[in-house]
Amino acid sequence: MSVLYLDFAGSERDARVQKLARTGAHIVVSDPRWPGFFELAKKEKPYAIAIDFEQAPAHSLETADYLAKAKETRDVAIYLLRVPEDRLDLVAKRLPQAAVVTDQELAVRVVEAEKEAQERARQKKEAAAAARKSARARAGAAEKTTGRPPAAAAPKTGPARPAARPKKPPARPVKKTAVPRKKQKKGASGKTSLRPARKR
C-alpha cells in the first residue's frame, strides 16, 4: 500500500515528501505528466493520491480531474495541496470528492487512510475465506444427501461387480403327437380277432 505524490521536481518537493514519509507511509513520487502518472497509479494501486498545485495549477487540476473519473482510481482518496484562492470554486465544482488540505492535515489524513485501507483489505480477505468455507460446506451437504460426491470431486473406485447372467427364456410346452393305431385283421367269421397272428 502506498501514497502517490504528484508534483514537478524541485527541492521543495523532496523536502515535503521526506516530511510526509515520517508518518510511516510508503510514498511514491512522480511528475503529473500524461501518461506517466496514470500508468504509475494503475501499477501501484495507491490508497491515497496527493497533488500539489503550486507550480502548475491548471495542469494539476486536469490531472486531478482525470484521476477522479478514471475507473482504476475513482475510489481512491484525493488530496489537493496549495490550491490558489482563485481556483477554489472551480476545484469544488469539478472535484467535489477531493479534499483541499495543508501539509499537516495531509499527514493526519494519510495515517487515517492507511488504517482504512488495511481494514478494507482485512475484510476482503475474511470474506474470501468465508466464501471458500461456505462452498466446502455446501459440497459436503450435497454428498450426504445424494450419497454421491459433487461433480467436481473424483469418483470413488471400488471392486467391479460381476455382470448379471442373462435369464433363460421360458420353456415351451411340448405337444403330444398322436400315435396311429394299427388296423386289426378280421377272421374268417368276419369277427375281429383279438389274438395276435402267429408267426410262420
pLDDT in tens, 71-126: 999 999 999 999 999 999 999 999 999 999 999 999 999 998 888 877 877 888 88
CATH 2.30.30.30 fits 3-121, yes or no: no
Question: How high is the pLDDT of residue 51?
Answer: 98
What is d(CA 17, CA 7) in angstroms, rounded to the nearest whole number? 10
Question: How high is the pLDDT of residue 1?
Answer: 79
With helix as H, strand as E and coil as C, how does 19-53 read?
HHHCCCCCEEEECCCCCHHHHHHHHHCCCEEEEEC
Question: How high is the pLDDT of residue 8?
Answer: 94
> Are the beta carbons of 150 and 142 closer than 8 angstroms?
yes
Report the Cα 144 to chain-centroid distance in Å: 25
CA R_g for the chain = 49
Question: How high is the pLDDT of residue 150?
Answer: 60
Element (H, E) at 60: helix 57-69
Is 182 strand, coil or helix? coil
What is d(CA 29, CA 14) in angstroms, rounded to the nearest whole number? 9
Short-list 25, 64, 65, CA closest to 46: 25
Specify which residues 49 forms β-bridges with.
Answer: 4, 78
Question: How high is the pLDDT of residue 181?
Answer: 60
And the C-alpha cell for 32? 503529473
> Which stretches of the chain score pLDDT less than 50?
188, 193
Query: What is the pTM (predicted TM-score) of this model?
Result: 0.62
Question: How high is the pLDDT of residue 116?
Answer: 81
What is d(CA 114, CA 109) in angstroms, rounded to the nearest whole number? 9
Is 4 strand, coil or helix? strand
User: Using alpha carbons only, what angle is made at residue 161 by residues 157 and 163, rounded to the nearest 5 degrees?
Assistant: 140
> What amino acid occupies position 72?
E
